[in-house]
A = this chain, B = another copy of it.
Amino acid sequence: MNVVLIGSGNVATHIAKALNAVNVNIAQVWSYHYQNASLLANDVSATAIKELSEVDFDADVCLIAIKDDEIVNIVNQLKSFKGIIAHTSGSVNLAVLENSENFGVFYPLQTFSKNKQVDFSTIPLCLEANNEESLAVLKEIANKLSTNVLEVNSDKRKILHLAAVFACNFTNHLYALADDLLKANDLDFDIIRPLITETASKVQYALPLTVQTGPAIRHDEQTLKKHEELLNDHQELLEIYKILSNSIKKTR
């Protein structure tokens, strides 16, 4: 199995390294920035290419891991690709690839950052394809990487992506806001790290609604008021505090 990889960002890098680790051959890497392609290619024993016209159109799979908006543009230049062309985006329709013969989606539902290793074996890999044969090939690759392979259509994948924004991107931003607050008071983020771990750990075996804690769920108006007073000089935090506390109070 030969894979051509389009992209060299966080997602591309993590996928490339994971594929390489399970002996799926990355034949070529292309990126808008040749230097990045070259670095990544070097890491996974692939060849970096400068032009999309150099893509080996006989490779089995072409994985596109670039910015959502740029997928259409790239796909238009890969019409002669004979294998399966698949993008890795959570929010882009399968249909964007419909000018190809065999196409699909290979969406890893995870947050990737440089220099942070992830265990691919538990990552949900959400697959979709325009025909059974293509789906089977994507499944074959996905099964080598993860025990958590799912078939998900474009509509549901978009909801998963949106839910991930709440559970991951927004959550990380709340960590950042907490850090701002701590820093402004000469306190170290280290102090709340065990709390963050436990908060995530609690919902691994329970639904979040059943383990909600804090003043809002207790309707502890006194503490809520004190917190709002503490945030008087932090208008943005205050607004977020109010909207999320009110939302918690409405539950049950």
Q: Residues on A close to B: CB < 8 A?
A: 10, 67-69, 91, 109-113, 116, 118, 122-124, 148, 150, 155-156, 158-160, 162-179, 181-182, 185-187, 189, 191-218, 220, 222-223, 226-227, 230-231, 236-237, 239-241, 243-244, 247-248, 250-251
Given known A-B contacts A68-B223, A168-B213, A178-B163, A197 and B194 have beta carbons under 8 A apart: no
The answer on a CB contact under 8 Å between B167 and A196 is yes
Q: Helix, strand, loop or mixed for chain A's interface? A: helix
User: What is the bound-complex CA distance between A231 and B192, given in angstroms?
Assistant: 32
Bound CA–CA A113/B175 (angstroms): 21
- Is the pair B164, A178 in contact by a Cβ cutoff of 8 Å? yes
Provide the bound-state CA to CA distance between A250 and B176, in Å.
12
By the criterion CB–CB under 8 Å, are B191 and A222 in contact? no
Q: Which residues of B contact A167 (CB under 8 A)?
A: 174-175, 178, 192, 195-196, 199
Contact B166 A178 (CB under 8 A): yes
Among the listed B182, B212, B231, which residue makes an inter-chain contact with A173, where contact means beta carbons less than 8 Å apart?
B212
Could you say how many copies of this chain the assembly holds? 2
CB neighbours (8 Å) of A199 from chain B are 111, 167-168, 171-172, 200
A–B pairs, 15, beta carbons within 8 Å:
A111-B195, A113-B213, A124-B192, A158-B226, A162-B231, A163-B181, A166-B174, A166-B241, A167-B192, A168-B192, A170-B240, A172-B213, A173-B212, A175-B208, A236-B247
Q: How far apart sit A205 and B220, CA to CA, in the bound complex (Å)? A: 33
Which of A67, A195, A250 has most chain B Cβ within 10 Å? Answer: A195
Q: Are B200's CB and A169's CB within 8 A?
A: no
B168–A171 contact, CB under 8 A?
no
Closest to A213 in B: B111
Minimal Cβ-Cβ distance residue in B for A226 = B91
Known A162-B227, A171-B174; further 10 A-B contacts with Cβ < 8 A: A124-B194, A159-B185, A165-B214, A166-B174, A167-B192, A168-B192, A168-B195, A173-B247, A173-B248, A175-B203
Decide: B123 and A194 in contact? CB cutoff 8 A.
Answer: yes
CB neighbours (8 Å) of A206 from chain B are 113, 116
A179:B111 contact, CB within 8 angstroms = no
Residues of the B chain whose Cβ atoms lie less than 8 Å from the Cβ of A195 = 109-111, 164, 167-168
In the assembled complex, the CB of A15 is this many whole angstroms from the nearest CB of chain B, namely 15
What is the CA–CA distance of A164 and B227 in the complex, to the nearest angstrom? 11
Q: Which of B177, B192, B211 contacts A172 (CB 8 A)?
A: B211
